[in-house]
């Protein structure tokens, strides 16, 4: 195959979700080359961008499963240290599993027993009075609850981008818009990865392709597992309800889900969802009325009856979990090809298990990387510079930044108070934002109540000028998701006007 380029690296990671970026973050301290390839126009484009954003402590997991063992190793203290070093938002707010009737008691008490078996401290059952002190707006009919003070909420966009950017700052390369189409091996050992842009030679290949990890694993050998998407739908409420719920609230768990959830996001919104529907289309992120009605009736209205069905719902969306047919994580070496490491079925609690997963993968890399130098780089920096977020600063701090750079004084997104300077920063960051959704994930421009109605055209203009492209080339999320179809001048000519006429759209 002849592509745009042919390259070499020591370790090649396939997939730019939170797992792939977490592994890059883990390995970037060592004296060998790391490259990460992602088929989309940005990292955090799959399961990592559409999930419940919860940090579970594993109080209710099955310790006989690998996913249970790994989440128990990924403590909140590890995440708090990561948040301090990499600067992403994390709120250890606690969680409640409320009960209304006697039939709920068995499920709640069983979860309490599991927390003791898993050695999770602080979990206790609270009565009606304390429950409503903890959650004043909850349905008065709720009589008792399991309270876990260790549960957290984080921003999965911030986490994934922070992990990836930290790796780049320490020498890793991230190649976006690069799809893997094949993997070559010789003598029972991986030799290179074929992409739609060229061939990359590698000593170790790590398959962190999420929903498509079974497809990638099947490029080198016959596999005996599958990954199917399990869809979940979410409501996102406007910031006026951001403090309405204080903690993460679980509904009664099911055989395929920890239950529906309601929680305050780290950005001041209210997130409610999600159901769990198995289907076959890995790219299908559509929402449906039946799911929305179910979530509202069984969770939102049941626990917080004053919350509206719509009206103050800013948006609805869906995400696909990468569920394996084993209902467990599958992490290990390829059976027949040395140097190939697969991560399969990393669904919940994958987000909560990143540190332990990355540790495990490092051990696997050490087992096959005989020629890799695991000495620490002289220039390695364990911290990532904190991005400027104007809305979080005092008036004096804002004034100081604006005095130094007037672009911070030009507000582009009024709903979220995002400046032109912050958008330019996002475009120039180690993993650059080159489309509207990438800007949104880094700055929140377009995430407010008007959903980009005001700032969208302005962000298009900034991308046009900063990237040196036509406005017709600006996309929503890469590839063919163009924002504009033609120039006003062309529209005038189509409608019979002269080329000198002005058309106001």
Q: What is the pLDDT of residues 410-434, one digit of tens each?
A: 999 999 999 999 999 999 999 999 9
Within 10 angstroms of residue 201's Cβ, the number of other Cβ atoms is: 15
| Region for residue 360 given its phi and psi (left: phi exceeds 0; alpha: psi -120 to 50; beta: otherwise) | alpha
| Whole-number pLDDT of residue 503 | 37
> pLDDT value at position 23?
98
Q: What is the pLDDT of residue 489?
A: 65
Asked if 110 contacts 49 with a C-beta cutoff of 8 angstroms, the reply is no
User: Can you give the pLDDT at residue 386?
Assistant: 96
User: What domains, with CATH codes, occur in the chain?
Assistant: 1-88+154-226+325-386 (3.50.50.60), 89-153+227-322 (3.30.9.10), 395-491 (1.10.10.1100)
In angstroms, rounded to a whole number, what is the distance separating the alpha carbons of residues 363 and 42? 28
Residue 502's pLDDT is 41
Mean pLDDT value of segment 88-96: 97
Inform me whether the pLDDT recorded for 342 exceeds 80: yes
pLDDT of residue 498: 46
| Other C-beta atoms lying within 10 Å of the C-beta of residue 367 | 12
Q: For residue 34, what is the DSSP state? A: E
**Over residues 285-289, mean pLDDT:** 94
> What is the residue-averaged pLDDT of the chain?
93
- H/E run at residue 412: strand 411-413
Q: What is the CA radius of gyration of the chain?
A: 24
CB-based burial label for 3 (10 Å; 0-12, 13-18, 19+): middle
In this structure, the dihedral spanned by the alpha carbons of residues 456, 461, 463 and 468, taken in order and rounded to 10 degrees, is: 160
Residue 97: count of CB within 10 angstroms of its CB? 25
Bridging pattern class, strands 11-14 and 204-207: parallel
Q: What integer pLDDT is reported at residue 491 of this predicted model?
A: 56
Positive/negative CA dihedral, 386, 389, 395, 400: positive
pLDDT at 487: 72
Taking 90 as the threshold, does the pLDDT of residue 1 lie above it? no
pLDDT digits (tens, 9 = 90+) for 245-260: 999 999 987 655 567 9
pLDDT at 194: 97
Contacts of 166 (CB under 8 A, 6+ apart): 25, 28, 86, 383, 384
* 51-68 residue pLDDT tens: 999 999 999 999 999 999
The pTM of this model reads: 0.94
CA atoms lying within 13 Å on the CB side of residue 211: 24
Confidence (pLDDT) at 254? 60
Tokens of 344: 């399969």
Mean pLDDT of 135-163: 97
> What is the average pLDDT across 282-309?
95
Q: What is the mean pLDDT of residues 36-61?
A: 95
pLDDT at 493: 54
Single out the catalytic residue among 25, 56, 132, 166. Answer: 56
- What's the confidence (pLDDT) of residue 492? 55
Distance of CA 359 to the CA centre of its chain: 19
**What are 343-364's pLDDT values in tens digits?**
999 999 999 999 999 999 999 9
Using a pLDDT cut of 70, give the percent of the chain over it: 95
Residue 490 — very low, low, confident or very high, per pLDDT cuts 50/70/90? low
56 given a catalytic annotation: yes
pLDDT at residue 113 tops 80: yes
């Amino acid at each position: 195959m002849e592509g745009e380029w042919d390259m070499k690296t020591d370790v090649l990671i396939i997939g730019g979700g939170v797992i792939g970026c977490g592994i890059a973050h883990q390995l970037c301290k060592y004296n060998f080359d790391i490259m990460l390839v992602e088929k989309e126009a940005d990292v955090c484009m799959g399961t990592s961008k559409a999930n419940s954003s919860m940090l579970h402590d594993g109080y209710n997991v099955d310790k006989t499963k690998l996913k249970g063992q790994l989440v128990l190793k990924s403590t909140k203290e590890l995440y708090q240290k990561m948040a301090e070093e990499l600067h992403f938002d994390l709120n250890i707010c606690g969680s409640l599993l409320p009960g209304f009737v006697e039939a709920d008691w068995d499920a709640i008490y069983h979860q309490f027993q599991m927390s003791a078996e898993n050695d999770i401290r602080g979990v206790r059952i609270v009565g009606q009075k304390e429950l409503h002190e903890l959650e004043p707006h909850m349905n008065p009919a709720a009589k008792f609850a399991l309270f876990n003070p260790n549960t957290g909420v984080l921003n999965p966009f911030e986490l994934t981008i922070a992990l990836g950017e930290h790796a780049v700052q320490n020498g890793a390369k991230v190649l976006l818009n690069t799809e893997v189409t094949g993997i070559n091996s010789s003598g029972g050992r991986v030799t290179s990865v074929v992409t739609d842009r060229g061939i990359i030679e590698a000593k170790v290949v790590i398959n962190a392709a999420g929903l498509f990890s079974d497809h990638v694993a099947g490029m080198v050998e016959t596999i005996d597992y599958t990954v199917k998407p399990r869809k979940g739908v979410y409501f996102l409420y406007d910031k006026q309800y951001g403090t309405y719920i204080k903690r993460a609230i679980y509904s009664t768990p099911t055989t395929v889900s920890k239950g529906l959830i309601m929680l305050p996001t780290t950005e001041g919104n209210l997130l409610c969802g999600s159901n769990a529907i198995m289907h076959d289309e890995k790219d299908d992120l559509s929402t449906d009325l039946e799911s929305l009605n179910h979530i509202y009736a069984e969770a939102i209205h049941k626990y917080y009856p004053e919350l509206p069905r719509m009206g103050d719902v800013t948006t609805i969306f869906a995400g696909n979990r990468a569920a394996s047919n084993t209902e467990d994580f599958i992490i290990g070496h390829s059976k027949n090809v040395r140097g190939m490491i697969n991560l399969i079925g990393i669904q919940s609690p994958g987000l909560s298990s990143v540190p332990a997963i990355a540790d495990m993968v490092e051990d696997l890399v050490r087992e096959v990387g005989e020629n890799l130098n695991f000495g620490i780089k002289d220039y390695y920096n364990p911290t990532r510079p904190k991005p400027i977020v104007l809305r979080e600063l005092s008036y004096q701090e804002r004034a100081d930044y604006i005095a130094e750079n007037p672009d911070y004084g030009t507000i582009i997104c009024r709903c979220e108070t995002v400046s032109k300077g912050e958008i330019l920063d996002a475009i120039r960051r180690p993993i650059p934002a080159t489309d509207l959704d990438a800007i949104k994930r880094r700055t929140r421009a377009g995430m407010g109540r008007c959903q980009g109605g005001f700032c969208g055209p302005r962000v298009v203009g900034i991308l046009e000028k900063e990237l040196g492209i036509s406005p017709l080339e600006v996309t929503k999320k890469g590839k063919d998701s163009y924002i504009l179809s033609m120039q006003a001048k062309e529209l005038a000519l189509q409608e019979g006007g002269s080329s000198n006429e002005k058309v106001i759209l």
